Amino acid sequence: MPLFFLGFISVVYFLSIANTIFGGDSGDVVSAVLTHGFAHPPGYSLYTFLGILANLVPLEPTAAGRITLISTLATIGSLYLFTIIVREFTPRVHPVFLTITLTVLACNYVVWLYSSVAEVFPLNTILSLGIFYCAIRCYKTKKVGYLYGIAFLSGLCVAHHHTFVLILPGVVYLLWQVRKNLSLTGKTVTLMSGSLVLGLLPLLYLWIAFVTKGEVIWGSLKSFAGFFALLSRQGYGSFVVGSFVSHIPEHRLLQFKNLFLFLTGDFTILAIILFVLALVGYFRYAFQKDKPLFRALFLTLMFTGPFFFFYANFPLSGNFLFATQERFLHLFYFFFAFSVYFGLVYGFQLIREFIITKGIHNPLLKKIATTGIMVLLCLYPLAIVQKNAPRILALRSDKTAENLGKDILNNATDHSIVLLAQDTLLFNTQYVYYSKLVPLHDKILVHISKLESIYYPDVLKEHYNKLKISVNKKGSIGIDQFIRDNIGSYAIYSTERYSVPSLAEYEWIPQGMLFRLVPKDQAQDQKYVDALETYWNTSKNKDLEQRVKKQDNALKNYFTSDIARVYSIGHQNSAYYFLQQNRYKEAYIHLEAAQVLDPTDADPLYLFSIFHEKQKECTLAEQTIDLALQLNQEKMYINQLLNLTDCFSNETDKKRIQDKVMNLLKKTKTSLKQF
């Protein structure tokens, strides 16, 4: 039955493959494949190499779809490994409970989602499960041959994703149990070393990509130090997930609550009950035949879940950060699913014992009771499928992320430079750019943060020989210098308003999702107003507001919902531009759109307050900034409230505003003079 199910789920997975990018890192890893480069640290050399091969397979109509085959096949392989690992734990496998567990796991939101999109985590999971399986077999058979498998797969993991180390405590524990039974001769050590080196071979791809100047690369590999910096993610902080990590103890403790919410959201509260039953069953008697195996499993479960969450300490806000966090659950969920299976086994055993103690000896009644329980348990995976299928299947034809990239590139005029930052904007646009999904017309995509690196000048010179590149003493390109050198030859667009001290006569003006650098005396020219309105009228995602209102299933995923936030910011920038020109009708339209797209953001309320202030609607201006201050007590909002003292003519109103400001400043411990 379980193998039949795996065949069925394979069909479901192949039918679920998204034919475009999803958001997050997928645009970057697909772009690295398309340009024969390597993605952000640690470079994912194994994944990129496999992606190049997958892109040659004509089973899917798009590059993203073909590269997603890695995720799909890796997830199917991981489910198969799950079944054979279960068989290593117990000689008698209950096929119904195993099938229920496999359904719950395969159709779990995180597992199903990442089988359908181009991402690196499913490949990490199958390699890690492979290491764990080899450790179990080595423990049970005492054969050193499995050590070669562990060494080889560990090498592949080093060439792919660093989080595989979370399974090593359980693996080491198992191997320690049989250390006296393993004969580690010189030949054995040599073969293990050779297996490890063989697994590390995909790392050579990084050097090849660097030497051949792949356009999407994320580091200099001219020296071993540069190579190590890439693999160890020194740019992010080698021993932290990212610069956003907080070290406040209370935040770390809250991660346990956060993990619990993820578990109950993705597995339901029943899985927590089953986890407790599995623990009780182990400590009572059900699983005591081979305690070290279960201890290793528990150890791995703790390290891939609670320990990692406590250590990583992700911020507990924002859809993008929640989306970033949920990907790391992929490996943990596979190990957590073992407790679901054993909880079902032990729970059913308890129920049967209860039936016997209650004196139900009639075989027919026993059969009816047990069959009824089985039917009820089968409702559990069906509920998981019903909950997740709409959100996952909606992504197959959803182009929200792809359309963002198209809007960015269509936003810029021909013969222009587009300076990009921020993952959502950069990675999605990269995919569209390197897939050539829109006419480029001599548009040049520049990753703004790489201008400060020593390897990027050579990349730009290799691929864009018409650009003027001035390298400073550090060997990098200054943003100011780069813009100054090229503004005479190209229109300059950017996702950020960067300071350009050498071009004081220029300023950034909103042009849809981008800003354009123009002479100050032309900033309010009608042609830019027309270009701005044309952009929004022709946006590929112009129906995004209606989709948000209708609660489109595709937008119920964290990364796609973050795209709505990005468009909200674009509307805010446009609204502010129109407010500066006293074009209130246009400003109001964009402020309404911004609020719909991201109702949690206080900035549209801040801008609405300015809107009402300019029209001398002082009470409305006060009410809207009060709402903004309820969400966030930023100084910018307090300053807007203080500005309203000039809006009101009545001294009583002026005094009320001043008192409000003083109370807010007391809460933030800022004096009015300092403020």
In a domain, residue 275? The reply is: yes
Phi then psi dihedrals of residue 216, to 5 deg = -95, 95
Q: Are residues 372 and 405 in the same domain?
A: no
Q: What is the three-class DSSP state of 610?
A: helix
| pLDDT per position as a tens digit, 376-398 | 788 899 999 999 999 999 999 89
Q: Are residues 200 and 253 in the same domain?
A: yes
Beta strands, E only, 295-386? none
Last residue of a domain, one of 580, 601, 622: 601
Last residue of a domain, one of 393, 419, 444: 393
Residue 57 burial (CB count, 10 A) = 10
Q: Are residues 438 and 370 in the same domain?
A: no
Residue 648's pLDDT is 87
Residue 475's pLDDT is 84
Cβ-contact 103, 13 below 8 angstroms: no
Within a 13 Å sphere around the CA of 72, how many CA atoms are in the beta-carbon half?
A: 24
Q: Which domain holds residue 473?
A: 400-601
At a CB cut-off of 8 Å and minimum separation 6, what does 171 contact? 131, 132, 135, 150, 296, 300
Measure CA 658 to chain center: 44
Residue 240's pLDDT is 63
Cβ-contact 250, 177 below 8 angstroms: no
Domain tally for the chain?
Answer: 2
Last residue of a domain, one of 393, 425, 440: 393
The segments of the chain whose pLDDT lies below 50 read 286, 671-675
Q: Are residues 386 and 405 in the same domain?
A: no
Q: Are residues 294 and 331 in the same domain?
A: yes
**What tokens were used for 81?**
């490994």
Q: Are residues 22 and 119 in the same domain?
A: yes
Q: Are residues 174 and 99 in the same domain?
A: yes
Q: Are residues 353 and 422 in the same domain?
A: no
Q: What is the three-class DSSP state of 673?
A: coil
At a CB cut-off of 8 Å and minimum separation 6, what does 294 contact? 89, 282, 287
Q: Are residues 105 and 208 in the same domain?
A: yes
Q: Are residues 416 and 303 in the same domain?
A: no
Burial of 501 (0-12, 13-18, 19+ CB in 10 A): exposed
Residue 258 burial (CB count, 10 A) = 16
Residue 363's pLDDT is 66
- Cα-Cα-Cα-Cα dihedral of 349, 352, 357, 358, to 10°? 150
pTM > 0.95: yes or no: no
Residue 79's pLDDT is 97
Q: Are residues 98 and 159 in the same domain?
A: yes
SS3 labels along 205-242: HHHHHHHCCCCCCCCCCCCHHHHHHHHCCCCCCCCCCC
Residue 368's pLDDT is 61
Residue 3 burial (CB count, 10 A) = 12
Q: Are residues 426 and 339 in the same domain?
A: no
Q: What is the three-class DSSP state of 42?
A: coil
Number of H helices, E strands in the chain: 31, 5
Residue 331's pLDDT is 97
